[in-house]
Copies of this chain bind each other. A is one copy, B any other.
């Protein structure tokens, strides 16, 4: 039911503005940049994600005949404009930070340069795609840091906000270090490793818990994780020990157990003791249930013998911060830098670049935000990815993006890698950019230059 590539995935005002641009012949080149105004309270950094889907969208953008007919019927637009919309394609350029790059407040992660109507129309869907995956990748990266190498699996499709959110959060979390997902469609779409256990209903549907375990182990001899908290966690663990003895002659081993309720650390300790006492040290303990990076950190800090975590809802919805204070703003039109000066929402004008500086160990030390024509030292983070509406090269495979993200996380200074709050990273605004902002303000305050 979701036309996820529809050109109508936009706000009405984009179309009414486009008609005014069309009527007024305002089709010169514009540059818009996407950035996050402020880091959320519990984020020491953000991880860029969603670029591949943005480029897919731009390459395929077009209005269908059915959509054009509907727009013509709705009474807001005139015929010449509708016809022009029918021929509209995205023919612009895009610079962006590669997916998986760590970034901070005020740093553009994507710039669109195109005829004004094109660059305007795509605002809504670009924000929709970039904010969500960036938000989830940033939350998931914190889980990755907290888990210290334990198995991490995305369990969140059911409470994600719809189908696309479920799929894209499986992608964004894998990109940021999760080992895999339970979402089958994401496995098929991107080759993300799939993990699964069993549900309480499987146990309940059997008249006897031990019989349910045996049934499942015989059906899944090579990959079985037994859910043991349906009735009583420790007594289920003892039933499994008995079962292991019965299954051994058939060459079937129980791989893991999952605990989904109660005091997870305490249950894990008791279950570990039962399993070890019964000669089953190889059965791993997997936990789930309302987990996030704080819970993962605390469980491991308590020394609980946990081998893996199923993390869902709170990661997929970025529950403590389910949106980013982000924007896609006009920074230049027709060769003139522009900026908005609304209270609390002023932006830095012009086309910008971010230069990253590292210390002797290769760790990120600070970033410089400046204009694109202000040659500066350091590693430029925005790179060309699209010219004339076509990708410069195919988007990298997800495994490569994942490796890039891992390298970025490894390069974070230790204070930013902790789960608790840290001193903000240093982002310096260059003198050239300060000067440009003053020039733009003087121009606006002086009134209009001659119209062009």
Q: CB within 8 Å of B: which residues of A?
A: 1-6, 8-17, 19-21, 23-24, 26, 30, 32, 53, 56, 67, 70, 74, 76, 116, 120, 123-125, 127-129, 131-132, 155, 157-169, 182-185, 187-189, 194-202, 204-205, 207-208, 211, 215-216, 218-220, 223, 229-232, 260-262, 313-314, 317-319, 322-324, 326, 329-330, 333, 336, 338-345, 444, 447-449, 451-452
Contacts and interface: CB of A to CB of B under 8 A. Distances in A.
B128 A19 contact: no
Contact of A338 (B162, B204, B216): B204
Contact of A6 (B185, B215, B324): B185
B157 A220 contact: no
A182 to B, nearest CB: 4
A327 to B, nearest CB: 9
B204 A330 contact: yes
16 contacts: A9-B157, A9-B167, A13-B182, A15-B184, A17-B199, A17-B202, A30-B201, A120-B199, A120-B202, A123-B158, A128-B158, A161-B162, A161-B165, A163-B164, A232-B341, A317-B322
A196 B20 contact: no
A57 to B, nearest CB: 9
A452 B165 CA distance: 42
B128 A2 contact: no
**Oligomeric state, in copies:** 2
A343 B10 CA distance: 45
A153 B81 CA distance: 26
Contacts of A205: 21, 26, 30, 116, 330, 333, 338
A183 B132 CA distance: 17
Contacts of A4: 1-2, 4, 162-164
Contact of A211 (B3, B17, B448): B448
A330 B198 CA distance: 13
A394 to B, nearest CB: 16
Nearest to A345: B261
A21 B206 CA distance: 10
A70 B154 CA distance: 21
A320 to B, nearest CB: 9
Contact of A124 (B129, B157, B197, B216): B157
A210 B189 CA distance: 50
A215 B185 CA distance: 48
B184 A340 contact: no
A125 B163 CA distance: 8
Given A11-B157, A260-B342, 9 more contacts: A4-B163, A11-B155, A12-B184, A12-B187, A16-B223, A20-B216, A123-B199, A207-B448, A314-B323
Given A8-B188, A313-B323, A219 B24 contact: yes
B166 A128 contact: yes
Contacts of A314: 323
A31 to B, nearest CB: 11
Given A128-B162, A165-B164, A204 B339 contact: yes
B158 A131 contact: yes
Nearest to A201: B330
Contacts of A5: 1
**5 residue pairs, one from A and one from B, having the closest CB atoms:** A12-B196, A162-B164, A208-B448, A161-B161, A13-B196
A131 B163 CA distance: 12
Nearest to A3: B185
A318 B162 CA distance: 13
A291 B431 CA distance: 36
B9 A185 contact: yes
Among A11, A17, A129, A132, find the residue whose CB has the most chain B CB atoms closer than 10 A.
Answer: A11
